[in-house]
Amino acid sequence: MVEFRGVRKTFGRLQVLDGLDLQIRPRETLTIIGGSGTGKTVILKLVVGLLKPEAGRILVGGEDIVPLSEEQLFRVRRGVGFLFQGAALFDSLTVGENVAYPLREHTRMDDAQVEARVGEVLALVGLDGIEGKAPAALSGGMRKRVGLARAIALAPHLILYDEPTTGLDPQNAEKINDLIRDLQRKLGVTSVVVTHDMHSAFKVSDRIAMLRGGRIAALGTPAELQHSAEGFVQDFIAGHLE
């Protein structure tokens, strides 16, 4: 579904990714872990073309997106849902209007079709009937779920999650974890999760990739990482089990 081949990304003199190779399989949930500033969120932004690498190839559905123009990237982005760390809702719009936004921007659905789709995706995230509420009236967990409803409104084949449980209490974090797994099963999507929450990583992931020194330093199932013989893997996990 997504493949990085020899990807390099720098910001000024800071080399963040140094020849990154990574394959993300169709319909799997792959979680990327690593220390602060190692480039986890950079990877997500590269997948949708919000950033361009200095070298390497990034294949999404078999197509190298690196040389694509901004206009050509719109086609790629339509197939990708992105849940931002802070949900990134428009406070001036209702919940329903927030979820409807990508439908009105990128489809020719009429009002009835938009309304039906909004209701459908809100139900998928367990928020039936809140279309008229303002985002400011919602809890942090509900805002995340509204952001997720908006991310899946266009029926993407790939969903990117940037720190989906950050700032949530344990109960709401567990709801988000359950949703990530549930949507993978119901929609058949590929999911890429960036998190520092190891409880979340162990629960939602088919595989976990650890980013270190600009490359993937460890890759395997949750059980394989938990039993890794690498000291730096064990140290990271122990330091991030909250």
Query: pLDDT value at position 62?
Result: 93
* Contact of 135 with 95, CB cutoff 8 Å: yes
Q: What is the mean pLDDT of the segment spanning 146-173? A: 93
Does 132 map to a domain?
no
Tell me how many domains the chain contains: 1
CATH number at residue 226: 3.40.50.300
Query: pLDDT value at position 37?
Result: 86
Q: How does pLDDT run across 10-46, given as a tens digit for each residue?
A: 999 999 999 999 999 999 999 999 998 899 999 999 9
Does 125 map to a domain?
no
CA distances 104 to 51, 73, 77, 158, 170, Å, are: 25, 18, 15, 20, 35
Query: 200 is in which domain, residue-wise?
Result: 1-74+192-242
pTM for the full model?
A: 0.92
Does 172 map to a domain?
no
Residue 242 has pLDDT above 70, yes or no: no
Does 16 map to a domain?
yes
Does 157 map to a domain?
no
Does 13 map to a domain?
yes
* Contact of 159 with 81, CB cutoff 8 Å: yes
Burial 182-218 (b: 16+ CB within 10 A, else e): ebbeebebbbbbbbbbbbbbbbbbbbbbbbbebbbbb
Does 220 map to a domain?
yes
Does 118 map to a domain?
no
Q: How does pLDDT run across 80-125, given as a tens digit for each residue?
A: 999 988 778 999 999 999 999 999 988 999 999 999 999 999 999 9
